[in-house]
Amino acid sequence: MKKKTVFFNETLDAIAAILLKVLPGAPPSIIVRDIFGRIRVAWDKESAEIKGYEEKLSKEWSALGKYGQYEGKKALSREDFFDPDSIFKSLEILDYQAPGAEQRIRIYDRQITEQEWTRLPSPEGAIPRLVFYGVKGGVGRSTAVAVLAYQLAKKGKNVLLIDFDLESPGLSGLMLPPERMAEFGIVDWFVEDAVGQGNEILPRMLSICPLSQAEGVTGRINVAASSGMNEVAYIAKLSRVYADIPRKEGGVEHFPERMTRLVKELEAHERPDIILIDSRAGLHDLAAVSIVGLGTRTFLFAVNSEQTWQAYRLLFSHWQSYPLIAIQIRDRLAVVDSLFPETGQEENVNSFLERSYDLFSKALYDEIAPGSDEISLNAFNFDMGDRDAPHYPLRIKWNARFQAFNAKLLSEGIITQADIESAYGDFLSGVELAIEGEPL
């Protein structure tokens, strides 16, 4: 009889079932999953303390299929690791819970990329860092960032814009004429920092947006663009951005840590009132670091299409499987309906809201049992029509005047304050309420 094929999606449920069946009273373990998805189980114990575990696991191990096939032991102790504390005390150990399951397991997941989506959030400092993200490009995200920066500067705020959409840079084109570009860009900092020259780059990678001198603007807008003036080697530099570099004290500094350090150094150098981060679109580590590691508030740009909702479902279901991360990230999210149409508005309002609510309620909101007489005051759960809920969209109305937007259109009054209010009023008020408690 042919053995049942076990696929990647089934492996964590399978190992949880094995442990529950053959080692129900065993001390807490860690599931170690390698880069191919193959699984072993580790205990922070000496080998004598887990004697017999290997034999018991072997009886059910075939339930893992190919993901249980490799040379070596299935049950690992401290003695099986060169540096056991680097495993058992790692910050990368996560609680995992399959949707609909009650049992949680702890997992140490060795991944090549995308680990940052499930790193415990740790944004620091009192300066608000707003991240603007979309699972797909072309949804007006960069234009919204530019308009928001202008409005904040009109209120006297010193704004720092950071363009982390390195593979598709565009924020500088909206905010800076070519002659106002800085000498260097963010990609230059990563390359030069790797050889110890990051400090020399930092002051020379910031540009003052001309909108800072526009009528009625009392604040300042500084831009850290992806590239510098007269760039001729962008692709060659971009291919080196994600490199890990050696630490002076030993070990390596990984790209996410370097990205976080760059933001902190820009923050210390400029001392802005607020930082706006234009994130890379898609499920990429650049976006993950921005949302999970940097942002005090993240605005999720969406359009009402099946492709958009499907992509967000992939991200939200990933967070759902790691409850500790989901709990810490969910109240920092806000949805933006970024291309609200000129026609069919009532239909779009209802459809977008229903799909947004469905996304959050299934993955990130606390489940409340039907017919429950008492609802915990601490439950993270909202009605679909609750305007203060993360799923309730801030709307940006589609307007042809913003389709070929650049800062000059604002500074010369071609795009007026009335145009901004008409298209971006709801979005701007929502952002301001989120950071200061009063509308723009």
- pLDDT, one tens digit per residue, over 397-413 is 888 778 777 777 777 77
pLDDT at residue 307 tops 60: yes
Domain end point (choices 110, 144, 164): 110
Region 418-424: mean pLDDT is 89
Average pLDDT for the chain:
86
Is-contact 112 255, C-beta < 8 A? no
Task: Establish if 375 belongs to a structural domain.
Answer: no
199 versus 340: which is more confidently predicted?
Answer: 199
Task: Establish if 371 belongs to a structural domain.
Answer: no
Residues 325 and 405 in one domain: yes
Flag the least confident range among 191-195, 209-213, 354-358, 409-413: 409-413
> Other CB atoms closer than 10 Å to residue 228's CB: what's the count?
22
pLDDT at residue 197 tops 60: yes
Q: What is the span of the domain harbouring residue 304? A: 118-366+382-435
Is-contact 333 434, C-beta < 8 A? no
Flag the least confident range among 233-237, 302-306, 407-411: 407-411
Region 281-292: mean pLDDT is 78
Residues 222 and 196 in one domain: yes
User: What pLDDT digit, counting tens, does each position of 136-195 carry?
Assistant: 888 889 889 999 999 999 999 999 999 998 888 878 888 888 888 999 999 999 999 999
Residues 258 and 390 in one domain: yes
Flag the least confident range among 6-20, 110-124, 278-292, 374-388: 110-124
Task: Establish if 427 belongs to a structural domain.
Answer: yes
pLDDT at residue 100 tops 90: no
Residues 167 and 226: their CA atoms lie apart, in Å, by 9
Region 205-213: mean pLDDT is 90
Residues 169 and 316 in one domain: yes
Task: Tell me the CA end-to-end span of the chain in Å, nearest whole number.
Answer: 69
The strand order across the sheet containing 220-224 reads 207-208, 220-224, 158-163, 274-278, 129-134, 297-302, 333-340, 394-397
Contacting residues for 426 by C-beta, under 8 A, at least 6 apart: 394, 395, 396, 397
Task: Establish if 263 belongs to a structural domain.
Answer: yes
pLDDT at residue 208 tops 70: yes
| The total number of structural domains that make up the chain | 2
Name the band, by pLDDT with cuts 50, 70 and 90, for residue 114.
very low
Residues 96 and 108: their CA atoms lie apart, in Å, by 10
Looking at the DSSP assignment, which residues form a beta bridge with residue 132?
Answer: 278, 299
Name the band, by pLDDT with cuts 50, 70 and 90, for residue 216.
confident
pLDDT at residue 338 tops 80: yes
What pLDDT shows up at residue 438?
A: 46
Residues 83 and 212 in one domain: no
Give the whole-number percent of the chain exceeding pLDDT 90: 45
Flag the least confident range among 118-122, 271-275, 376-380: 118-122
Give the whole-number percent of the chain exceeding pLDDT 70: 91
Domain end point (choices 69, 92, 110): 110
Residues 89 and 135 in one domain: no
Is-contact 225 163, C-beta < 8 A? yes
| CATH number of the domain that residue 427 is part of | 3.40.50.300
What pLDDT shows up at residue 120?
A: 56
Region 29-57: mean pLDDT is 92
DSSP per-residue codes, 202-214: GGGS-EE-GGGGS
Residues 143 and 183 in one domain: yes
In this structure, what is the dihedral angle of CA atoms 312, 317, 318, 320, given to the nearest 10 degrees? 130
Residues 214 and 323 in one domain: yes
Domain end point (choices 67, 93, 110): 110
* Rg of the chain taking only CA atoms, in angstroms: 25
Contacting residues for 104 by C-beta, under 8 A, at least 6 apart: 95, 96, 97, 323
pLDDT at residue 334 tops 80: yes
Q: Would residue 344 be called left, alpha or beta, if left means φ above 0 and alpha means ψ between -120 and 50 degrees?
A: left
118 versus 268: which is more confidently predicted?
Answer: 268
Task: Establish if 298 belongs to a structural domain.
Answer: yes
Residues 173 and 41 in one domain: no
Residues 182 and 294 in one domain: yes
Task: Establish if 292 belongs to a structural domain.
Answer: yes
pTM: 0.82
Task: Establish if 17 belongs to a structural domain.
Answer: yes
Residues 122 and 70 in one domain: no
Residues 95 and 136 in one domain: no
pLDDT at residue 375 tops 70: no
Residues 186 and 201: their CA atoms lie apart, in Å, by 9
pLDDT at residue 369 tops 70: no
Task: Establish if 242 belongs to a structural domain.
Answer: yes
